[in-house]
Amino acid sequence: MPAIDVFKNDAFSMITLTEAVNKMPHIPGRVGRIKLFQPRGVPTTSVMFEEKDGILYLVNTQPRGAPGQQNQTGKRTARTFKIPHMAVSDRVLADEIQDVRAFGSQNELAGVEMVVNDRMKTMTLSLDATLEHLRMGAVKGIILDADGSTEIYNLFTEFGVSQHAEIDFDLDNAAPASGAVRKKCTQVDRLISGELGALAHNGVHCLCGDNFWDDLTAHSEIRETYLNQQAAAQLREGIAYEVIRYGGITFENYRGKVGSVEFIDTDKAHFFPVGVPGLFIENFAPADYMETANTIGLPRYAKIAPDASFQKWVDLEVQSNPLPICTRPKVLIKAKRT
C-alpha cells in the first residue's frame, strides 16, 4: 500500500496517539510524584475560582432586650484564570521512514510506528518537564514561563494577598541557640495553620535547595537529634535528594533543572501543607482541535497530519493545556538558608 496510507491506520488516530502519550511515564519530578495536585479536566480554556471570606468576631455583652449586635458577613470574590497552552511540533520526512524499512515490505507499519513513537516520546518528556516547572511555580506562588523570568501568574497578586516575610533559618550560625531550628519549624507551622483556619492538614512539607539542605543536615541540632537513631546512618552516608523529618516538618532536597533553568534557588526552601482538599488543583483544558472542542480536557494530546500534496512528510504535534494552582497562596511559606 502507498506509504501515506499507513497513517490512515487506527494506530495513528488521534485517540490512539493521545492514549499512548498519556501512558508514558512522567519525567522524574518530585512535585508530580508526591501527588500534591488534584488533577481535574475542564471543558473550557479558562477556570474560575470563587472565594468567600469566613468572618469570626467577638460579640459584646448587652442589656437584655437591647438590639443585637449587627452581624458581619463575608465577601464573595470570583477570579478567572486563563489556562496556558503548550504544544511541541515536529516533522517526519519520507527519507527518515525509508531508513527503517524496505520499500514494499510487509512490515512498513512497524517501521513508521517506531519513528513516530520515538519522536513523540521526546516531545512528551519535554512537556512533562515543563509541567513540573509549572507545578513548582505554584508551590512557590509565582508561576513562570519556560525561560524562568516571564511571569504567567503571580498567585499572591491574583488572590489579593501578600506572602509572609521570608524566614531566616540561620543555618550557618556557628553557635546556634538550643532548639533554634525547631523554633523556626514551629513558626512555619503556626503561620500555615493560621492561614488555613478551620481547615485541617496532614502535615507540612518542605522542598529545599541544595545549599539549604546541606546546611540543614549538617546543623548540630539536627545531627544531635538523629544521633543514636537508626536514621543517623543517613547523615553519615550523605543523603542528597532524600528526605528527613524534623520539628513536625518533612524536609526534602528537591532536584529540578532543565538546561540553565533551576526550579528552586539553592539557598531557599519552600513550605506548604499537605492533605488539604482543594488547596492544590491541576486543571487541564481541551486541545485546540475541532474534535476536542468543549470536551473534558486530558493531560496530553497527540496528533499527526500527513502532507496532502506530495506525501513527503507527516507533521506531529503533542500538546498540553495545564494550570496547576494553589488556591490559598498565603499558606506558601518561603525560607532562606541565612
Rounded to whole angstroms, the Cα distance separating 84 from 321 reads: 6
Cβ–Cβ < 8 Å for 191, 161? no
**pLDDT value of position 45:** 94
Q: Which is nearest to 112 in space by CA: 319, 304, 317?
A: 304
**pLDDT value of position 121:** 87
**pLDDT value of position 284:** 96
**pLDDT value of position 267:** 98
Rounded to whole angstroms, the Cα distance separating 235 from 230 reads: 10
Rounded to whole angstroms, the Cα distance separating 292 from 285 reads: 10
DSSP collapsed to 3 states, 96-151: HHHCCCCCCCCCHHHHHHHHHHHHHHHHHHHHHHHHHHHHHHHHHCEEECCCCCCE
**pLDDT value of position 26:** 45
DSSP string for residues in 233-257: HHHHH--TT-EEEETTEEEEE---E
Instruction: Walk along the chain (338 residues) in steps of 10 and give the mean pLDDT of each run.
Output: 60 74 64 91 91 62 78 74 95 79 54 81 90 96 89 95 97 94 97 92 96 94 77 57 90 90 95 95 95 95 90 92 95 97
What letter represents residue 274's amino acid?
A: V
76-82 and 301-306 beta bridge pairing: unpaired
Cβ–Cβ < 8 Å for 22, 331? no
- The residue behind cell 464573595 is 76
Q: Which is nearest to 82 in space by CA: 49, 51, 50, 45?
A: 45
Rounded to whole angstroms, the Cα distance separating 272 from 285 reads: 26
**pLDDT value of position 326:** 96
**pLDDT value of position 208:** 97
Cβ-Cβ contacts under 8 Å for 146 (sequence gap 6 or more): 130, 133, 261
Q: What is the CATH topology of the domain spanning 3-51+76-336?
A: phage-related protein like fold (3.90.1690)
pTM of the predicted model as reported, rounded to 2 decimal places: 0.83
242: DSSP letter: -
pLDDT per residue over 1-17, tens digit each? 455 566 666 766 777 77
**DSSP helix/strand/coil, 154:** strand
**pLDDT value of position 2:** 52
Q: Would you kindly state where each structural domain of the chain is located, as residue ranges?
A: 3-51+76-336
- Quote the percentage of the chain above a pLDDT of 90: 56
Cβ–Cβ < 8 Å for 137, 207? no
Cα Rg of the chain, angstroms: 26
Cell triple for residue 43? Answer: 471543558
**pLDDT value of position 282:** 95
End-to-end CA distance of the chain: 68
Q: Where are the beta strands (DSSP E) in the chain?
A: 38-41, 46-52, 76-82, 86-93, 142-144, 151-154, 167-168, 203-208, 243-246, 249-253, 257-258, 261-262, 268-274, 280-284, 301-306, 313-320, 322-326, 333-336
329: DSSP letter: G
